[in-house]
Structure 1
Amino acid sequence: MAFSSDYNLVTKLLDQTEEFQKIIISGEIFPSSNFTNLTPYLEKAKLEGAFLDEEDFHEIKGALLTLKSCISFFQKNAEIYPVLSQLLGLLLELDLGLLKTIDVIIDEKGKMRSNASKELQLIRAQIIYEEGRLRKVMDRIFKEARAKGLTPEDASMTIRAGRLVIPVAAENKRKLRGFIHDESATGQTVFMEPEEALDINNEIRDLEYMERREIIKILTALTDRLRPAIPALRKATNFLGLIDFIRAKAKFAQKTESSKPEIIKERILAWTKARHPLLELALKSQGKKITPLDIKLGGHERLLVISGPNAGGKSVTLKTVALLQYMLQTGLLIPVHPDSKSSLFDHFFIDIGDEQNLENDLSTYSSHLLNMKHFTQFANRKTILFIDEFGTGTEPQFGGAIAESILLSLNKLGAFGVITTHYGNLKQIANKNQGLVNGAMRYDVNRLEPLYQLEIGKPGSSFALEIASKIGISKEILDYAKANIGEEREEIKPEKTAVKDPEIVVIGGKIAEGDWVRLKDNGAIAEVLRLKNNEAEISIGELKSNVKISRLEKISNTQVKKEVKAIALRTGYNTNEKMMDFSYNLDLRGKRGEEILPLIQTFIDEGHMLGVKDLRIVHGKGDGILRDITRNLLKHMNQVKKVEDEHADRGGAGVTLVTLK
């Protein structure tokens, strides 16, 4: 399976898989066994004078039976499965008469038939006769020996060295004329072949040698008969492997509910209800559903710049598009609605993954820049590219500027693709330049929950200030942060991608467990989990916190529950998807003070909810400002059990290790 941009080849591969998927759905009987790789047997048989053994021919016979069934199936259904039927061209030279020849000689158990030759038939008949005569002689001698008390009590005849023998007590061995083949472990019993049976046994051995010579003679002749058919059998092996592979692809397509989108030569990517197949399978095993993705790129909107909060689904969206496009161009059906459309690209560029490492900071960013160098040198109108967290890994003012320049260059080259970012300048560039388009991952600020829904045409927000406010960061800190955001960040005003707050009705009264409340100082809506003295444990979306009851006011449950239910239907929090995005390391280097507060809060909360015990926050040493802010925030978080410096060899005071409760 290889990536291809050849329209005819990819279309053929997709059609083959789609047709086999129809065979599976129809329930029609299709061969399911003996898809054997015949190559080892053919290599052995091609040498003059060599011969295949009975087991080898049994395998070849099974494969020929499968080939015969396949030929019959596709000849009968050529109009229903025209693309698969074309594969019969590989079998045009195959002579199924070979199957009949082998079947005459090799039976269903892989043994040579007695009537494979007249000589073999006579030899085996003589062996049967001599074995019967031997049994009679041995039975008579054994009864006589037992009557004389020569054998141990309860002893019976057995076989040693391939010959029938009689167990005789060691002290009586000279009382029976014959040949000793073995003795017991204790030496108290010897196993003897009576003299009278010796000649018969020797005759049987001679007959067995004759049988083996005749079998080899027949196998050699059969191998000679097969040798001219080796080229045709090689093609038949390719056919079997290809059909088996197509069936595997069809089974996977059926399991992932995949289909074939319309493949058009115009450059477009218009998918409806696209799903990441592996993520969907994982969710199904948990009884959960995935949030489908709708995406359309083409014309004047080729490069999608996705922004939004951390863990909001940006990377999953990018990886979904990248994986499905790659699957498509390797001939796999993809989990999208059948009405979806797609085109093929010559080049597939990827820069995904984060190798953040304190000791390797420059080389990490340099590796990304090397990828960008390759992209800008070789990208063109037939390129699709995917860049995750564009520009990160260095100081924001430099990383953002370089990323902006690279983005404009890629756009000028006419490339297609999906890019994720946090940089505001890239959102502005996407908003102003034809060929680029903004995308946002929707987020429910009130519930502090990502919705995993992509909106194209709108830039996203990290909702840092909103989240900081909801989790209780002081107004003084927030005001300072707002004052330092800068006019350039206000230049582009994104349309709201967050869900509007529900209408809240304050009803007052005594607060009880299970009630919905609003925090008086910041308006956050929460559910009361439990009460203890004058404090309440509340749940704000995915976050839990303990607050004074005096800070809460009871609100009407009705409207809030409707909103919560609607959010649950749209999203559904699932641990599996969170774990796909979650990293045990949080790198704050290059961030500003007001940026790191919500990042740390989200990082700790995510880790706590996912059951992670040990986390690592990289802030660097410098003047120690980021370290102090980080330590101060962690000190006041209930989920944190212990905070300490990393080992000196792995960053020392530049890294904070966090142990969660």
Structure 2
Amino acid sequence: ILRPSIPEILQSYEFLAEVDFIRAKSYFAIQTNSLKPAIENEQLLDWTMAVHPLLQLSLAKHGKKVVPLDIELNQKQRILIISGPNAGGKSVCLKTVGLLQYMLQCGMLIPLHERSHTGIFSNIFIDIGDEQSIEDDLSTYSSHLTNMKIMMKSCNERSLILIDEFGGGTEPQIGGAIAEAVLKRFNQKRTFGVITTHYQNLKHFAEDHEGVVNGAMLYDRHLMQALFQLQIGNPGSSFAIEIARKIGLPEDVIADASEIVGSEYINADKYLQDIVRDKRYWEGKRQTIRQREKQMEETIARYQSEMEELQKSRKEIIKQAKEEAERMLQESNARIENTIRTIKEAQAEKEKTRLARQELTDFRTSLDTLTSKEQEEKIARKMEKLKEKQERKKNKKNEPKTATATPSNSPKVIPVTVGDNVKLKGQTSIGQVMEINGKNATVAFGSIKTTVKLDRLERSNVTTKTESFAKTTFVSSQTHDQMYEKKLNFKQDIDVRGMRGDEALQAVTYFIDDAILIGMDRVRILHGTGTGILRTLIRQYLSTVSGVSHYADEHIQFGGAGITVVDLD
């Protein structure tokens, strides 16, 4: 039964194995917080916060965290020589680089920061641990040399070499010399590598040759403990004397050892430690300065934004203030025009009318000639007053209201005077006080004058005298308000240039009607010169309007025959 399905079963078996393999990789990636970094088509190591996954899992069981590794290898610094104290993390750095690079090239996700960049190497050569073999008659040093021979023969610019305790296992002086010669060949072949060592000559080689760079595993001299942090740029100290003293080796033994090696070496090692310490200090300072600069830039940007907003608000307030001033000017203009009309109705002399108009013109001119600075100062003072007024209102609102009004809060009764707008108690008709004789007052309700006792009168809520002129017993409040609004918004000029004859006549008709209705003395019609047809039609119409007393060309300086000035009764 199964034999015919053997190919399908084998295929399913392979498929399940592949799916299980993919699931295992993803599960391991989740466990180790791994990800896929940016992969470049070149030889490169630019890793940030790389972590050895097995060490991470092991320390996590004991509630500890791995110190992440930051490392960079590129075309300018291909080989990194790591030095530092024993048990300081040199080998862990080496194994982290080897394991993560191999995992990546096996298609696995690796635990490092997402901003890291990785490359691909054709060969990875590793010499870690003691490959001593009794059967093959190989000592520790012999096994190291065998590996060096294979590496020198096979490595190229696409290779990665990882060597732990480079040159170790034999006499330090000759071991260091052979290691330096081998390192020179690696550098000539432009290979990449990470190498750990204690030899001073290899540190000097890294300082003197391009392509090779020193790195140090940091150590806290005060706390006498390793920090497990890699710092590229300076060689590290072995801290042999300090570690021996911490372990408790007799002080006389340490003194003898120091004397044997010589004060010059001890001092050089001490100076190296001081340099590393100072570099850490200034690196911390630089980070602090960067943070402060960033905060300062953000603060400056915020202040600039707020200043721009304030400038914008200031311009808006000035604009509103100017509009308010213009509105007040128009209202003043309407009041003066109304006064002139009243004088004219009272058959006053034309000279007084002319003088009143001249005063209005002077007032406008004086307002326009104010410098912008003066305007801004006045507006600023106005804004301050408005702000104080708003504050007072706000404070009043916040005060608790009493259930009954006290006598001090009751409004004062203002006596009626000549010119006040008044009404009879219980009535809505509004009149104006013309004269007061003792306890009696003469009040004009429209065209009707009557004598009323003062105690029967009460002041009207109407605030402007112009309203009292227009409001009578025969005109509704709504009609009066419409008329007053029309008077405020009325323009004394109309432009009919470009219109057809019938359109122009209709516009002029409405315009003249409104002007007569609100009591204008003079208006202007802009019709242009052209062929003169519009001018003739408009003037023929004006000659038929009873409210028009006179019309003529404007003065030559202000438009001449292109404008008709119309005087109204």
Interval containing the TM-score (normalised by the shorter chain): 0.3 to 0.5
- Per the normalisation by structure 2, the TM-score is 0.45
Higher RCO (CA-CA < 8 Å; seq separation 6+): 1
Greater share of residues in helix: 2
- Per the normalisation by structure 1, the TM-score is 0.39
